[in-house]
């Protein structure tokens, strides 16, 4: 994913083919803009607001992981986000050419122990628990230097 940065069009293709694609630079601001476009697209598609909110939370966690951990350098590369809505199922594919996941497998995503003093709460680790809890299916693969995270949400 090199070259000029395509400008995401939240309306492109969504109403007709029930597809939405966004390609953005792996930077916090660009990620926020892409996620805001997804939120608008989910609203336009008429998805239940509660379920749409759950999708947004899971996607935000996943995209932030790519930005912070796969790349970590704001000029390192791009993220491609494809959403397809068909038959009451939303399929999401996030692709990047950043670093592989440790061990090239998904983290378990165990819930953090919240029964500790506030100062002893872990800094991270909540994201994968949220993603795994909110999505109905979560898969990851790395092929030819590309990470692909696939999420599926029953609506």
Q: Is residue 4 part of a domain?
A: no
Q: How many domains does the structure of the chain reveal?
A: 1
Q: In the predicted model, is pLDDT for residue 139 greater than 90?
A: yes
Q: Is residue 65 part of a domain?
A: yes
pTM tops 0.75, yes or no: yes
Per-residue model confidence (pLDDT) at position 14: 53
Q: Is residue 6 part of a domain?
A: no
Q: Is residue 9 part of a domain?
A: no
In this predicted model, which residue has the larger pLDDT, 74 or 3? 74
Domain that holds residue 24: 14-154
Q: In the predicted model, is pLDDT for residue 120 greater than 90?
A: no
Q: Please report, for the domain that includes residue 42, its CATH number.
A: 3.30.565.10
Q: Is residue 2 part of a domain?
A: no
| Residues 86, 73: Cα–Cα separation, whole Å | 35
Q: Is residue 139 part of a domain?
A: yes
| pLDDT tens-place string over residues 68-103 | 999 987 677 999 999 999 988 999 999 999 999 888
| pLDDT tens-place string over residues 16-68 | 468 899 999 999 999 999 999 999 999 988 899 999 999 999 999 999 999 99
| Residues 10, 22: Cα–Cα separation, whole Å | 8
Q: What is the DSSP string of the chain?
A: --SSPPPP-TTSSHHHH-EEEEEEESSHHHHHHHHHHHHHHHHHTT--HHHHHHHHHHHHHHHHHIIIIII-STTS-EEEEEEEEETTEEEEEEEE-SPPPGGGS----PPP--SS-GGGS-SS-HHHHHHHHH-SEEEEEEETTEEEEEEEEE-
Q: Scan for tokens 């696939």, then name that residue.
A: 150
Beta pairing, strands 89-96 & 137-143:
unpaired
Q: Is residue 66 part of a domain?
A: yes
Q: Is residue 105 part of a domain?
A: yes
């Amino acid at each position: 994913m090199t070259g000029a940065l395509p400008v995401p069009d939240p309306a492109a293709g969504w109403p007709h083919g029930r597809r939405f694609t966004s390609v953005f630079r792996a930077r916090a601001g660009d990620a926020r803009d892409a996620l805001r476009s997804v939120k608008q697209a989910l609203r336009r598609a008429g998805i239940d607001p509660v379920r749409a909110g759950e999708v947004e939370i899971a996607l935000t966690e996943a995209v932030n992981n790519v930005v912070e951990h796969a790349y970590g350098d704001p000029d390192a590369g791009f993220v491609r986000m494809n959403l397809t809505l068909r038959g009451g199922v939303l399929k999401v594919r996030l692709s990047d050419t950043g670093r592989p996941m440790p061990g090239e497998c998904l983290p378990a995503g165990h819930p953090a122990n919240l029964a500790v003093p506030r100062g002893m709460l872990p800094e991270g680790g909540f994201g994968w628990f949220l993603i795994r809890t909110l999505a109905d299916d979560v898969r990851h693969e790395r092929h030819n230097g590309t990470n692909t995270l696939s999420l599926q949400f029953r609506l």
